[in-house]
Amino acid sequence: MKPLILASASPRRRQLLHEAGVAFTVIPSNTAEELRPNESPEEYALRVAWEKAQDVAARHPGSWVLGADTIVAVDGLVLGKPKDAADGLRMLRLLSGRAHHVITAFALFNDTGQVSDHQWVASHVTFKTLTDEQIRDYLATGEPFDKAGAYAVQGLGAALVERVEGSYTNVVGLPMEEVLAALGAVGILPEND
């Protein structure tokens, strides 16, 4: 079995890989996540995922490294994690009653520090129309503050969502069908119980 490092501190990504039976260790990346001028949401997510994997691969030669980044995109705007309650309120008001895309990109680096696979996956999410009271109540739970777009589809934020089209696990933080295909193609397979 090839050793795999997940270059992410995300508990959601850890849970998805664990539930799929993939053996891995976690070493978070120190990569800054800042949008560059004229960078599309897809380009941004893919670049950050690549940089996260590359950062950890450079520090741990001989290991396979999986980096990922999830963003919410609406009207060409990239919504990352809210800075504070006011930012979360702004984001959730923007998403209220509308559709948006959740884009998760991943990059898999091999044991020689070269990229083996990288891609992005988009899911289409439609929100219910929310009142400011509903938004403030959700923000008061604390759940939105480490989530792109200020919500967690797998948590209390599920109550905000009308529907998800495309990969649900992508919205959670890792497009598992594509990630498992990439891992399987290089012989990193889920463990059998």
Which residues participate in catalysis according to the annotation?
A: 69
User: Which residues have CB under 8 Å from 37's CB, separation 6+?
Assistant: none
- Note the maximum CA span of the chain: 52
DSSP three-state, residue 124:
strand
Cα radius of gyration rounded to whole Å, the chain? 17
Pairing of strands 115-127, 161-165: antiparallel
CB 78 within 8 A of CB 91: no
- Virtual CA dihedral for 95, 50, 65, 182, nearest 10 degrees? 70
CA distance 188 to 149: 31
